[in-house]
């Protein structure tokens, strides 16, 4: 904006001039005209020349200009005031506002009390209200430009007041800059220290290249961290107490974590008191233990570090055999020096949880174990646990407890089933946290009406029907490898059976063998890979369901070849017999059963006339059944599982078609909610809940 007074005069001032001319007859005539002071009209620029004999020309424009000048002299002060009032806002009660410019341009903010335009302003007023407003100026690029200039002066040794000597090199700097970034230098140059008044300061125990980088950072606020310099940059930033660089180094190392370096990073973090980095790298080593034990870093660990790892209950392993092998490899890496630690390390290996074949073929035959008396005692303890499964509940110790890695999450697995005359081997799993389903590897056999149970970090599928035959075969799924493998078949063909896990054993109850309904019971021991017969139920039950509540196994409902059952019985493995409990209020076959918070739930099913959507639960303390709210859909041949304090009803048949819908029950509000449907319609479905660690990542890795 052009702030010159002439512009404002052209806008605001209008003058009246009197023009005297002489006519052809010689008489004077007077006319009054109104015009602006800066631009005469055409009539004012040209006047009749009059009688040529008179020899006199009158310039109207000259007379007008003279009159304007006289007017301006008389009223100059008022015009200047008018000019100020036009271009400076009138005061109001609003506060000053600061506006920041972009691209580093200068910004001036004027305190304004009015939104009036110049044409709205009142005539000049020379009262006290004409005080100039405040103005705030800000240059966003000032600090960057200033520090860049100061850094150039440092590089040229201009105005520097200290020289830092380290490793035979000298680095010029400004004390005020160093003190503003580093508490170490602030204390050096302000407290009563010898270096306070020195021009040259010698530093020890710091890498010269790192010091140069940190000095450059003090002036520029920028630094480059690489795999090559991070191990000297972090200690240097710690010494100088430059916390921002120290934290950046820790974050960089966290992004570099890998099974091959996590133990080294953990030791490095411990040496430099980086608590968060140490905690995260230690957790990473626990979660990736199976890969870590195969690295050179593991073999070079000290005894205390190895003991710290293998004693941790959060160790992520697929089997305890991995820990035993890791201990042997570490000891044998320096046998003469490390042999003395074998007994103490073996006490942290949970030998009762290794399978019997490994125990007999690898542990018992290992010379290091046989030669150590304490190791032999540990071996006997494991054998006793294997040979007396009925007494396992009384043999509880730290070595009989399964490890549970941090970050384990419950997933719902749905396997097999049938739809539209097709029987599936496809499987899928559901993450309740993300409310999403994903596919996993298919089973080796097509199965519907199978029993599904999770046990010791594996998913077991037993029996079922393949479209032609009832099955005795069984297989298990390992979520770490996304693979299925066959296990020992049952002693009896069974479809429509009930399954559950208790005390480390897999129980199967009732079912159908292709000819008759069954009351027989078997159990499978994963440690020995052996099926054993158990006391039979009091009632034959096909399409029954079983669950564990208060250390007892409950069998509910089903079909006995002639009647749909409402009866319930329970088995106490410690006593070894079945006993009757109060019957349900409704007959239910092909129902869904689960235990939650001290209650035994039985939901849906068929009573022989229709599929049901009602449910009820058994109150153990009251020894009676009570109703719960009905599901949104009628369901039979479905499954009900418990996960994270909720019940989930999956698939089944509504009387006319197979379902892929899923609904969730919240006991606190007695309400069912629809959640994401399965990818496949499944009646006669098998389902269970298995705790996994980062299953999505594992599935992604195994699919590549």
CATH number at residue 362: 1.25.40.420
- Do 392 and 428 share a domain, yes or no? no
CATH number at residue 231: 3.30.710.10
Q: What is the DSSP-derived secondary structure letter of residue 340?
A: G
Determine contact, residues 385/401, Cβ cutoff 8 Å: no
Determine contact, residues 408/393, Cβ cutoff 8 Å: no
What pLDDT score was predicted for residue 412? 98
pLDDT digits (tens, 9 = 90+) for 382-407: 999 999 888 887 888 899 999 999 88
Q: Which residues contact 117 (CB under 8 A, 6 or more apart)?
A: none
Whether 462 is in a domain gets the answer: yes
- Do 217 and 356 share a domain, yes or no? no
- Do 77 and 204 share a domain, yes or no? no
Whether 282 is in a domain gets the answer: no
> Is the pLDDT assigned to residue 312 strictly greater than 70?
yes
Cα 126 from Cα 80, distance rounded (Å): 11
Helix (H, G, I), strand (E, B) or coil at 519: strand
- Do 208 and 305 share a domain, yes or no? no
Cα 487 from Cα 306, distance rounded (Å): 34
Give the domain range for residue 227: 144-256
Tell me which H or E stretch contains 78: helix 76-87
Determine contact, residues 659/604, Cβ cutoff 8 Å: no
pLDDT digits (tens, 9 = 90+) for 460-498: 999 999 999 999 999 999 998 999 999 999 999 999 999
Whether 278 is in a domain gets the answer: no
pLDDT digits (tens, 9 = 90+) for 622-659: 999 999 999 999 999 999 999 999 999 999 999 999 99
- Do 388 and 449 share a domain, yes or no? no
- Do 204 and 347 share a domain, yes or no? no
pLDDT digits (tens, 9 = 90+) for 19-73: 333 433 444 444 444 333 344 444 444 334 344 344 444 444 455 455 545 555 5
CATH number at residue 519: 2.120.10.80
Whether 267 is in a domain gets the answer: no
- Do 118 and 247 share a domain, yes or no? no
Cα 214 from Cα 236, distance rounded (Å): 8
Q: Which residues contact 16 (CB under 8 A, 6 or more apart)?
A: 32, 33, 34
- Do 153 and 200 share a domain, yes or no? yes
Whether 541 is in a domain gets the answer: yes
pLDDT digits (tens, 9 = 90+) for 253-279: 999 999 999 999 999 999 999 999 999
Cα 334 from Cα 328, distance rounded (Å): 11
What pLDDT score was predicted for residue 696? 87
Whether 152 is in a domain gets the answer: yes
The percent of residues above 90 in pLDDT, for the chain, comes to 72
- Do 675 and 541 share a domain, yes or no? yes
**Number of separate domains in the chain:** 4
What is the model's pTM?
0.73
What pLDDT score was predicted for residue 31? 42
What is the band of 122 on the pLDDT scale with cuts at 50, 70, 90? very low
- Do 607 and 564 share a domain, yes or no? yes
Whether 311 is in a domain gets the answer: yes
Quick one: tokens of 272? 């430099």
Whether 137 is in a domain gets the answer: no
- Do 401 and 414 share a domain, yes or no? no
- Do 399 and 432 share a domain, yes or no? no
């Amino acid at each position: 904006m052009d702030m010159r007074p002439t512009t404002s005069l052209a806008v605001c001032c209008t003058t009246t001039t009197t023009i005297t001319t002489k006519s052809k007859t010689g008489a004077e005539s007077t006319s009054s005209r109104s015009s602006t002071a800066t631009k005469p009209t055409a009539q004012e620029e040209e006047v009749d020349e009059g009688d040529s004999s008179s020899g006199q020309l009158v310039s109207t424009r000259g007379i007008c200009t003279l009159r304007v000048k006289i007017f301006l002299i008389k009223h100059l002060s008022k015009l200047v005031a008018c000019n100020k009032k036009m271009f400076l806002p009138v005061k109001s009660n609003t506060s000053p506002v600061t506006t920041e410019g972009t691209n580093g341009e200068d910004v001036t903010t004027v305190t304004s009390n009015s939104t009036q335009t110049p044409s709205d302003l009142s005539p000049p007023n020379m009262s006290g209200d004409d005080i100039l407003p405040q103005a705030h100026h800000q240059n966003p690029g000032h600090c960057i430009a200033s520090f860049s200039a100061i850094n150039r002066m440092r590089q040229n040794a201009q105005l520097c007041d200290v020289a830092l000597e380290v490793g035979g090199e000298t680095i010029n700097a400004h004390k005020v800059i160093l003190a503003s970034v580093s508490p170490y230098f602030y204390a050096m140059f302000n407290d009563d220290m010898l270096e306070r008044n020195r021009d040259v300061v010698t530093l020890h125990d710091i890498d010269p290249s790192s010091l140069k980088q940190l000095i450059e950072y003090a002036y520029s606020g920028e630094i480059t961290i690489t795999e090559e310099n991070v191990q000297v940059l972090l200690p240097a930033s710690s010494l100088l107490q430059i916390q921002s660089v120290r934290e950046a180094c820790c974050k960089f190392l966290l992004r570099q974590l890998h099974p091959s370096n996590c133990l080294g990073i953990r030791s490095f973090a411990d040496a430099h008191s980086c608590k968060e980095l140490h905690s995260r790298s230690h957790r990473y080593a626990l979660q990736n233990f199976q890969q870590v034990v195969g690295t050179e870093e593991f073999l070079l660990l000290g005894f205390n570090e190895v003991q710290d790892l293998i004693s941790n209950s959060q160790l992520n392993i697929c089997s305890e055999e991995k820990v035993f092998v890791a201990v042997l490899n570490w000891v044998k890496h320096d046998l003469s020096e490390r042999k003395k630690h074998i007994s103490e390390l073996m006490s942290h290996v949970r030998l009762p949880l290794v399978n019997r074949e490994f125990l007999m073929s690898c542990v018992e035959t290992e010379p290091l174990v046989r030669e150590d008396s304490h190791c032999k005692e540990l071996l006997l303890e494991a054998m006793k646990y294997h040979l007396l499964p009925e007494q396992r509940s009384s043999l509880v110790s730290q070595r009989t407890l399964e490890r549970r890695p941090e970050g384990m999450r419950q997933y719902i697995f749905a396997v097999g089933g049938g739809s539209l005359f097709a029987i599936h081997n496809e499987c899928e799993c559901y993450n309740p946290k993300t409310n999403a389903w994903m596919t996993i590897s298919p089973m080796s056999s097509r199965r519907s009406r199978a029993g599904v149970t999770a046990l010791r970090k594996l998913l077991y599928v037993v029996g079922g029907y393949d479209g032609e035959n009832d099955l005795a075969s069984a297989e298990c799924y390992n979520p770490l490898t996304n693979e299925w493998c066959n296990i020992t078949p049952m002693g009896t063909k069974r479809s429509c059976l009930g399954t559950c896990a208790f005390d480390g054993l897999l129980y199967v109850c009732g079912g159908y063998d292709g000819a008759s309904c069954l009351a027989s019971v078997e159990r499978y021991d994963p440690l020995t890979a052996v099926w054993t017969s158990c006391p039979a139920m009091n009632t034959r039950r096909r399409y029954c369901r079983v669950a564990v509540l208060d250390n007892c196994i409950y069998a509910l409902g089903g079909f006995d070849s002639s009647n749909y059952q409402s009866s319930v019985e329970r088995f106490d493995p410690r006593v070894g017999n079945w006993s009757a409990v109060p019957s349900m209020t409704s007959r239910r076959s092909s129902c869904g059963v689960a235990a939650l918070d001290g209650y035994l739930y039985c939901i849906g099913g068929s009573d022989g006339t229709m599929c049901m959507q009602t449910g009820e639960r058994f109150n153990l303390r009251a020894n009676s059944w009570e109703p719960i709210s009905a599901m949104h859909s009628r369901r039979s041949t479905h499954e009900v599982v418990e996960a994270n304090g909720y019940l989930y009803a999956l698939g089944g048949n509504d009387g006319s078609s197979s379902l892929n819908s899923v609904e969730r029950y919240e006991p606190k509000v007695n309400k069912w909610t629809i959640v994401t449907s399965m990818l496949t319609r499944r009646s006669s479905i098998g389902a269970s809940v298995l705790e996994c660690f980062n299953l999505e990542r594992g599935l992604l890795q195994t699919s590549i």
